[in-house]
Amino acid sequence: MRYDAVVIGAGPGGSSAARSLAQKGLKVLLIERKTLPRFKLCAGCLSARTSTLLPEGWRKKVLNTIRGGILGFKGGLETHLRAKDDIAFIVDRRDFDLFLVEKALEEGVDLLQEEEFLTFQEERGSYRVVTNRRTIICDFLVGADGVHSKVARLLGYRKRKLFRSVEFFLESYGGDEVRIDIGFVKRGYGWVFPKGEGASVGMATAEKEDLMKTFLEYSSYITERVPQKVLGWHIPYAEGWDDVSLGKERVLLVGDAAGLVDPLLGEGIYYAIKSGQLAGRAVVESPSHPSTLYRELLRSTVDDLIYAGKIARLAYRFQKTAFRMGSLGGLDLFYMLLRGEESYRSLYRKGWKKFIKSLFVA
């Protein structure tokens, strides 16, 4: 089998890369190791700015439209703010990921399911991609195979910063507000995200602490129901250029495989879709050196994640101060970020006045 490009992983980043490549006339193969639709452990929260990257019809996959939030501190103090416009959307990853794959197939992408990627080698100017079932020859390879990306490991990338995350689901909750609680873990937060008529209740931390013990304490604060099934996963995050793995030569990495995740909020879907689309653009516009152009196309995005990292280090070190900042208008600035009206760079600069002021609030 021969293709212009092979994409490993049919999540948002992979399907977006495949669709982008096919729209530009390339013959593309998308490889997924599971059968679609498949369960994906994820709170399923899309920032409103993600909508600008999505194909037509995406709103039909939205379970909840978020128009407000609650910021809590250690189960005691709370601040609440409604938004003037939508700030986020909740989706079920089974349906949402399948929707994006179907959009890629409409552009002519071929799909292999229940196919496990094993390795690749460069061979006579092309790449020999090996799965558990066959060998494919291609000119370009895109790794969209998640946080523990095999493509990234084969390229020599090893070091990665990780959040440890846990989650369970409430059958009855609903609503149009998200809840974020800080002060329970050192570097991270607890959350309650509406999901249809229910909710995702979770917690993430980048520190080596007893996450499960703390999460069960947090859960008892949120609901009287004791979670029977708690699920866990890793989320990568990037605070600088050393934390991202964008690929080499004609092999590009997107989304979690590239480490492109917000170090403050843990948002990954926006960056997965954006990087997938830019990977397609880099291949078409610079076929001889796509990794060089890809890096340049992502420069402003990664630079902004550096400012997100600066905010994260301050916010998680001074969590009570961060809560006070939220009460003094910080939440509204974050809503603007989620809508794409502000960047982390601008938030960092505007936030200093609020940071100093909040230090002196009783």
| Structural domain contains residue 211 | yes
| Structural domain contains residue 66 | no
Distance separating alpha carbons of residues 339 and 333, to the nearest angstrom = 10
Q: According to the model, what pLDDT value does residue 229 have? A: 87
| Structural domain contains residue 75 | no
Same domain, yes or no: 193 and 281: no
Same domain, yes or no: 224 and 301: no
Average pLDDT over residues 171-188: 91
Token pair 């959040």 in the structure block, residue: 163
Q: What is the CATH number of the domain that holds 137?
A: 3.50.50.60
Average pLDDT over residues 144-163: 96
Q: Would you tell me how many other CB atoms lie within 10 Å of the CB of residue 310?
A: 19
pLDDT above 70: percentage of residues in the chain: 96
Same domain, yes or no: 195 and 335: no
| Structural domain contains residue 348 | yes
Last residue of a domain, one of 236, 260, 279: 236
| Structural domain contains residue 64 | no
Query: What is the DSSP secondary structure assignment for residue 239, as one 8-state letter?
Result: S
Of the pLDDT bands very low, low, confident and very high (cuts 50, 70, 90), residue 353 is: low
pLDDT in tens, 222-272: 988 777 789 999 999 999 999 999 999 999 999 999 999 999 999 999 999
Distance separating alpha carbons of residues 175 and 181, to the nearest angstrom = 17
Q: According to the model, what pLDDT value does residue 359 have? A: 55
Does the pLDDT value for residue 137 go beyond 70? yes
Average pLDDT over residues 172-190: 92
Element (H, E) at 169: strand 162-170
Last residue of a domain, one of 217, 236, 255: 236
pLDDT in tens, 71-129: 999 988 999 999 989 999 999 999 999 999 999 999 999 999 999 999 999 999 999 99
**For the chain, what is the total number of helices (H) and then of strands (E)?**
10, 18
Same domain, yes or no: 212 and 339: no
Same domain, yes or no: 102 and 147: yes
Domain total for the chain? Answer: 3
Q: According to the model, what pLDDT value does residue 358 have? A: 61
Average pLDDT over residues 138-153: 98
Same domain, yes or no: 272 and 190: no
pLDDT in tens, 88-101: 999 999 999 999 99
Q: Which of 53-57, 320-324, 337-341 has the lowest mean pLDDT?
A: 320-324
Distance separating alpha carbons of residues 313 and 87, to the nearest angstrom = 24
Same domain, yes or no: 150 and 172: no
Distance separating alpha carbons of residues 329 and 317, to the nearest angstrom = 20
Same domain, yes or no: 274 and 223: no
- With a CB cutoff of 8 Å and minimum separation 6, the contacts of 322 are 182, 314, 315, 316, 330
| Structural domain contains residue 97 | yes
- With a CB cutoff of 8 Å and minimum separation 6, the contacts of 353 are none
Last residue of a domain, one of 203, 236, 269: 236
| Structural domain contains residue 168 | yes
Q: What is the CATH number of the domain that holds 170?
A: 3.30.9.10
Q: According to the model, what pLDDT value does residue 356 have? A: 59
Does the pLDDT value for residue 361 go beyond 70? no
Residue span of the structural domain in which 169 resides: 162-236
pTM over 0.75, yes/no: yes
pLDDT above 90: percentage of residues in the chain: 88
pLDDT in tens, 17-35: 999 999 999 999 999 999 9
| Structural domain contains residue 103 | yes
Nearest to 324 by CA among 183, 189, 190: 183
Same domain, yes or no: 219 and 295: no
Of the pLDDT bands very low, low, confident and very high (cuts 50, 70, 90), residue 362 is: very low
Same domain, yes or no: 124 and 26: yes
Same domain, yes or no: 155 and 173: no
Same domain, yes or no: 252 and 279: yes
